[in-house]
Amino acid sequence: MAEMVEPGNNEETEQSESSLSRSPAGRADLHSHTTHSDGALSPYELVTKARDAGLAALSITDHDNVGALEEAIEWGKSLGVEIVPGLELSVALGEKDVHVLAYFFDHKNQNLLDYLSFFRRERLKRAERIVEKLNKINIPIKLEAVLEQAGIGSIGRPHIANVLLDEGWIESYHEAFEKYIGMGGPAFEKKYQVTPGEAIKLISSSGGLSFLAHPGKYTTELELSQLIKFGMDGIEVVHPSHDEKRQAYYRGVVNQYFLLESGGSDFHGGKKSDDHTFGTFTVSMQVVETMRKRLFS
């Protein structure tokens, strides 16, 4: 990979400046979560929030779950918000947990649905192991409480963090990860993961595009090069963890390797306290149109 200016570490950023689009001056948030994974809002509530924020398009990218999409698509039609089918998968790159975003796939593809069902079962097994580890260090939370937090969604560590917070074992949501369930913590458990190649093949076979999510949070230049060689279609350039220098860096990589770019708020809501990101970390509708053209031209 050619040398580029190393991105900075400032966590604040401004939204991308592209403005040409099929929807004049329209903006899109291509990374968000609902109650179908670890988000706090229902599909109805999130699409309404997108309309109120003035967004022209929204992608719901729940973890291992596409259950929100039908409701969101229908409600989006009534509110004038385009819903881009989305999904977030975890893949293993060596010992590292890397996230891949999928867009514009067929969310009714049976092969995809079968894989996602398997991933969700593995998530439940992981949650059981985490709860057991917490119990062994004298934190007697119940799996039933975690399941209640998850509701209809794919179970994940955020639901365990919420239980720990609600029951007074920690003072903040983020403390759960720092002290107990994050990597290196006494109750940490690795999740089931596929390889990057397997994830990209799964997304491609269901008609979609694959993007590396928030690379600035964990991905080295060498690892980024490896992921590009696997056949990734694009990179999430705009994200709350990417400041302006980091955005410029990843946009340079996108241009160098003829990739696509995406971006969004990674909004969850609730105890994660990230409401300020929604409607701020966006991309132009021209970005969405370029993605669409890559698939359908």
Q: Considering the domain boundaries, does residue 182 fall inside one?
A: no
Structural domain count, the chain: 1
Residue 289 belongs to domain spanning:
27-107+208-296
Q: Distance between CA 23 and CA 265 in Å, rounded? A: 20
Terminal Cα-to-Cα distance of the chain (whole angstroms): 29
- Within a domain: 40: yes
Average pLDDT for residues 236-265, to the nearest whole number? 97
Structural domain contains residue 18 = no
Q: Is the pLDDT of residue 147 over 60?
A: yes
pLDDT digits (tens, 9 = 90+) for 60-80: 999 999 999 999 999 999 999
Cα Rg of the chain (Å, integer) = 19
Question: Is the per-residue pLDDT at 266 higher than 90?
Answer: yes
CATH code for position 47: 3.20.20.140
Helix (H, G, I), strand (E, B) or coil at 213: coil
Is 37 a domain residue? Answer: yes
Is residue 292 assigned to a domain?
yes
- Average pLDDT of the chain is 90
DSSP strands (E only) in 41-149: 57-60, 82-93, 96-103
Q: Is residue 79 part of a domain?
A: yes
Q: What is the pTM for the complete model shown?
A: 0.82
Residue 47 has phi, psi (to 5 degrees) of: -65, -40
Nearest to 215 by CA among 201, 198, 231, 234: 234
Q: Which of 11-25, 197-211, 232-246 is the least confident region?
A: 11-25
